[in-house]
Amino acid sequence: MSERKIRILLAKPGLDGHDRGAKVLARAFRDAGFEVIYTGCHQTPEQIVGAALQEDVDMVGLSCLSGAHTYLFPAVTKLLKEQEADDITVVGGGIIPDFDMQAMYDAGLKAIFTPGATLDSICDWIRENIKPRE
Amino acid sequence: MFTPEVLEQSKTMKSKWEDEVKKIVAKNADQKPKWTTVSDLEIKRLYGPDDIKDMDFAKDIGYPGQYPFLRGNQATGYRGKYWTFRMFSGMGSAAETNARWHYLLQSGQTGLSTAFDFPTLMGYDTDAPKARGECGKCGVAIDTIEDFQTLIKGIPLAKISTSMTINPPATILWAMYCASAQMAGIGLDEIAGTIQNDMLKEFIAQKTLMCPPDPSVKLISDTVEFGTKYVPKWNTISISGYHIREAGATAVQELAFTLRDGMEYVEDVIKRKGLHVDQFAPRLSFFFNSHIDFFEEIAKLRAARRIWAKAMRERYNSQDQRSWWMRFHTQTAGCSLTAQQPYNNVIRTATEALAAVLGGTQSLHTNSLDEVLCLPSEHAVQIALRTQQIIAEETGVVNTIDPLAGSYFIEALTNEMEEKAWDYIHKIDEMGGMVAAIERGFPQMEISDAAYQFQKQIDSCEKIMIGVNKYNTEDKVEIPFLEIDETTERDQIERLQAVKRKRDSRHVAECLKEIKGACEKGENVMPYCIEAVKALATVQEICDVYREVYGEYRDPGIY
């Protein structure tokens, strides 16, 4: 039996509509052989966690360019923990200033990809760090 | 354009030049095989008379202030008046933004432009669960007319024109502006400004969403009708390509989708409101991006004017020259800026601003070097504004109108942009119009393809961004970072609650009921919105009525 593909939920939490990065990544992930679920803009943390559980994903990628990541990213990891689903890896991207990085890692995010990260470098990180769950 | 003798001479000389090029390239190959614009449009090594030989001077080029307006709307160019220096700004509370506005006006800015925060843009109040964490982050937070009056404090409404980048709740924010003017004893016929109010590009690109496409267009037609009747100096729509481009579109896609959006609005107002095209078309305005590819942008802006003039005259039988004018604002491209080596952004913005001016813009925002990272600091905004002032008052490019006209390359590229844009416009016509095209995801997919293609070209270094994939440096440049702290949200919620405590709730409820009735009967909502905001109804309370009657649109997440 072939190995299960890595399943990724790409999500845009909050009211931010800057979805160019998320959509480009969705295509890159698909071309890299991952399974991608992209739920569109304006998702609440509750909707994101609900989708992650329902779709049984291995990783959640959050994208935020509005500055609201300080509230929204930790809200997602907290809810996952409450649902005992914190084995799902959460990563983030967007406009995340250096001085917010530590708070994001402290909140449980495993990686933050900022401007300049190439599509290949992000896909490589995923291959190295995410194993499809049984 | 040329006599047969000249074309014959050109042919002989061209063939000699081509032989020479072949010989040299055989020994020293070009640096790369294909030379393209940032939009991946292939550019030739040289352009000559044969590239524009089929142009008809009178029909295709002409003079400024004359059909087809390729060379500009104004017969006097920039000599009578420069473009409006209009810096887009808004952050934190209304009081903070008001202070920034006064600073900008003192620095020589000549028009205002408002950035609202995401809750305001999407029609939520600051205390809504969905708004948490967003207050004041990407613009100013406005919940009620009291915030609005703080925002415009000390601004002479009858003298300064104000642009507001607001889309789903445009009726409400415009109602606040109208009501504030009335309350200050200023007539609606005296105020001037613009509301962006272009929902089609929201579905295509920017994604501040509320109701489905058809009722969204209805609300826009309400504002066009109200403006035509009562607020004659207001641009009730700014048909925007800016966000389409930022989402990853090519220059041609930006041009085509924006103009086709404009045609959709024209058709809706004629059909739904029964107005004649020349009653409202002179107040339609446009908004373009000026990206880093210098000549492509100049050609795009010139082509835009010519396409619009032709469309108004030939497609809609407009008789009034003022309807044929495409008046537009331009903003330099946020997506061309880099977080890496941010001071390089000053040079990018200056180049893009110069292209906008050579393309004949009527109004301009220049991005600040830090806008890729945060809301601009005062110092960064000043450099951006000075960039415009240097172009206007030092470089001499304003001395003569449309200085690049007649260039073989510029005219050929302008023609090419126009032809390719018409191809898209006709394709969308065949789909049944822009709303139908959006519903089948057509413009969204075209842009998504272009954005992915561009990113792959950056990653493979086929296209270069300095500091990103070439000449990278490890050392980080520290720039001052403007941060909006959590107290902004707390204070704004307190202000909102104070307003809710003191207002006459029964009167608010009646006003909201009136708006609901207007929506259900298909009446114009504007007069009811003005009354509601005067009664201190909030942005969200009115938007909730729209959402209830028209339904809520959710981003389908097409990629």
The pLDDT value given to residue A2: 60
CA B339, CA B371: separation in Å to the nearest integer?
9
List residues of chain B with CB under 8 Å from any CB of chain A.
Answer: 118-119, 121-122, 124, 129-134, 137-138, 202, 206-209, 246-248, 335, 338-340, 372-374, 448, 451-452, 455-456, 458-459, 468, 476, 481, 484, 554-557, 559
DSSP B292-326: S-HHHHHHHHHHHHHHHHHIIIIIS----HHHH--
Residue of A nearest to B206 (CA): A17
Other Cβ atoms within 10 Å of B338 Cβ, number: 19
Cβ <8 Å between A67 and B124: no
Q: pLDDT at residue B375 above 90?
A: no
The reported pLDDT for the residue numbered B476 is 77
pLDDT in tens, B27-41: 999 999 999 999 999
Q: Please name the member of A19, A70, A98 whose beta carbon is closest to the beta carbon of B207.
A: A19
- A residues 20-59 near B, CB within 8 Å? 20, 22-24, 26-28, 38-42, 44
Is pLDDT above 90 for B256? Answer: yes
Contact between A116 and B452 using a beta-carbon 8 Å cutoff: no
SS3 B136: coil
In this prediction, residue B505 carries a pLDDT of 97
Phi-psi region of B100 (alpha: psi -120 to 50; beta: other; left: phi over 0): alpha
| Residues comprising chain A, all counted | 134
pLDDT at B544 over 50: yes
Amino acid at B359: G
State the ipTM, two decimals. 0.95
- Specify the 3-state DSSP secondary structure of B517: helix
Of B282, B361, B416, B331, nearest in space to B115 by CA: B331
Predicted local confidence at residue B493, as pLDDT: 97
Query: Maximum CA pair distance of chain A?
Result: 46
Closest Cβ opposite residue B459 in set A22, A38, A119: A119
Q: Which of A15, A38, A79 is best to mutate for the B interface (most B CBs within 10 A)? A: A15
Q: Give pLDDT, residue B486.
A: 84
Overall average pLDDT of the B270-280 stretch: 97
Q: What is the mean pLDDT of residues B253-264?
A: 98
Compute the distance between CA of residue A40 and CA of residue A18 in angstroms, rounded to an integer: 11
Establish, for the pair of chains A and B, how many residue pairs have beta carbons separated by less than 8 Å.
Answer: 109
Are residues A67 and A95 in contact, defined by beta-carbon separation less than 8 angstroms?
A: yes
DSSP string, B262-289: HHHHHHHIIIII---HHHHGGGEEEEEE
B118, B246, B335 ranked by CB distance to A15: nearest: B118
- Residue B487 predicted with pLDDT over 60: yes
What is the spatial distance between Cα B474 and Cα A117, in angstroms, rounded to a whole number?
14
Percentage of chain A exceeding pLDDT 90: 92
Res. B91: pLDDT tops 70: yes
C-alpha R_g of chain B: 24
pLDDT per residue of chain A (134 residues) written in tens, 0 to 9: 467 899 999 999 999 999 999 999 999 999 999 999 999 999 999 999 999 999 999 999 999 998 899 999 999 999 999 999 999 999 999 999 999 999 999 999 999 999 889 999 999 999 999 999 77
In the prediction, which pLDDT does B484 show? 81
Q: For B119-176, how does the pLDDT look when each residue is reduced to its tens digit (9 = 90+)?
A: 999 999 999 999 998 999 889 999 999 999 999 999 999 899 999 999 999 999 999 9
- Mean of all residue pLDDT scores within chain B: 96
Percent of chain B with pLDDT over 70: 100
Q: What was the pLDDT predicted at B475?
A: 76
Task: Determine, for residues A66 and B138 on separate chains, whether the beta-carbon distance falls below 8 Å.
Answer: yes
Query: CA separation (Å) from B150 to A94, B99, B101, B145?
Result: 32, 10, 12, 9
Whether B372 sits inside 8 A of A95 (CB atoms) is yes
Cβ contact A14–B118 (<8 Å): yes
Interchain pair B555, A28: CB under 8 A: no
Closest chain A C-alpha to B60 CA, distance in angstroms: 36
Chain B residues with beta carbon closer than 8 angstroms to that of A70: 133
Measure CB to CB from residue B134 to each of A20, A39, A68 and give the nearest one: A68
pLDDT tens digits, one per residue of B408-438: 999 999 999 999 999 999 999 999 999 999 9
Residue of A nearest to B454 (CA): A24
Q: pLDDT class for B374, splitting at 50, 70, 90?
A: confident
Fill in the amino acid letter for A13.
P
B483 pLDDT more than 90 = no
Q: What is the pLDDT of residue B421?
A: 98
User: Searching chain B, which residue's CA lies closest to the CA of residue A19?
Assistant: B247
The whole-angstrom separation of Cα B237 and Cα B139 is: 20
Q: Is the CB of A27 less than 8 angstroms away from the CB of B452?
A: yes
**pTM greater than 0.90:** yes
Distance of CA B174 to the CA centre of its chain: 18
pLDDT tens figures, B291-344: 999 999 999 999 999 999 999 999 999 999 999 999 999 999 999 999 999 999
A119 in B contact zone (CB under 8 Å) = yes
Give the CA count within 13 Å in the CB-facing half-sphere of B479: 23
Residue of A nearest to B339 (CA): A115
Residue-wise pLDDT tens digits, B200-220: 999 999 999 999 999 999 999
Alpha helices by DSSP H, listed for B111-234, are 118-122, 145-151, 170-183, 200-201, 213-230
pLDDT at A1: 47
Residue B45 has pLDDT above 70, yes or no: yes
Q: Within 10 Å of residue B398's Cβ, how many Cβ atoms? A: 18
pLDDT per position as a tens digit, B406-416 = 999 999 999 99
pLDDT at res. B463: 97
Please name the amino acid found at residue B457. Q
Mutate to test the interface with A, among B122, B555, B558 (most CBs of A within 10 A): B555
Which is it for strands A59-64 and B284-290: parallel, antiparallel or unpaired? Answer: unpaired
DSSP state of B168: T
